[in-house]
Amino acid sequence: MFSEHEVSPEEVDKTVEIIARKVVDSEIELYARFLLAMSWPLVFVGGQLTKVFIGPYLFILGRREDTFYDYISIFENKDNVFKLINKIDEFTEEKEKKEIGEKENKGMWDKIRGFFRL
């Protein structure tokens, strides 16, 4: 039950990218970056505590139990937390560049509707 899950580097990158994309799409990147930056010194301890106290109850979720253990194993490593922070920054910059480009292409009526939220 508490064995080490080996996760491939490709799967780590894929998981980090999926989570970062969801964070940016939900527009909570500032809060996520703050929380990750403040909690990275304790990620290993948090992962171990999660395995001990929450792990025994994951069987309720059925087949998704291994997925949660994989997530815990991925984010017990500080380097993966920093990868996530950097990926969130990267996706945020892409989103801002895209929004700037869209604002420049808007007409006057679109700007007025956006201002009044019509």
pLDDT for 5 equals 65
Q: Which contacts qualify for 1-8: CB closer than 8 Å, 24 or more apart? A: 1/55, 1/56, 2/51, 2/52, 2/55, 4/73, 5/66, 5/69, 5/70, 5/72, 5/73, 6/73, 7/70, 7/73, 7/74
| 14-49 tens-digit pLDDT | 999 999 999 999 989 889 999 999 998 999 999 889
Reported as a single tens digit per residue, the pLDDT across 59-104 is 787 767 778 888 888 999 999 999 999 999 999 999 988 887 766 6
Give the pTM.
0.76
Domain boundary assignment for the chain: 9-116
Contacts 24+ apart (CB under 8 A), 4-10: 4/73, 5/66, 5/69, 5/70, 5/72, 5/73, 6/73, 7/70, 7/73, 7/74
